[in-house]
Structure 1
Amino acid sequence: MVPAGAQRCHAGAGDPVALTDATRNVNGHGRGAALMAEVEKRLIALGCPKVQLQVRPGNEEALRFYDALGYTPFSASSTGKRLILDD
């Protein structure tokens, strides 16, 4: 069963929060944490019950950042197919 509000707040891959780009070169100034707090506030207002993030393997800095914000890792499988190769 899908919780009330879950479908309407699902951003999916088409609407990612580009936290890396938004906070580049400002680590340690609290801007990333402030941005995430605002995102969470807005999601709560939409009735979104949960946030799930994808972090690429080896991105320990991101994992430490999210851990400090109270996010906990869990196991999941993702599959994908690149249609356009990265430069």
Structure 2
Amino acid sequence: MVELPGYNAVKEALHAHLIDIGSATVPVEAYWSLAETLKLTAEQLALKRRDARGSAWENRVQWAKRKLVEEGIMDQGWHGVWCLRPNHAG
């Protein structure tokens, strides 16, 4: 059975990605960069959410973003722009 990386692994990879780039990112850039970092396969990227409405991978990354916002690491920011809070920018 094909599975995605665990939630915490994705959250940690997103945090590291934002520190590495040193600036804001847009979701589509984060999806692809994290997929490369975590070495996702085409099968993993093709997985759909349980409700079949959208990408399971994109949903997993969005979950990681939400958790980082809840933890005060990421700024809620503008729609479509993801960035670290100034005190977490590395």
TM-score by length of 1: 0.37
Name the structure with the higher strand share.
2
Name the structure with the higher helix share.
2
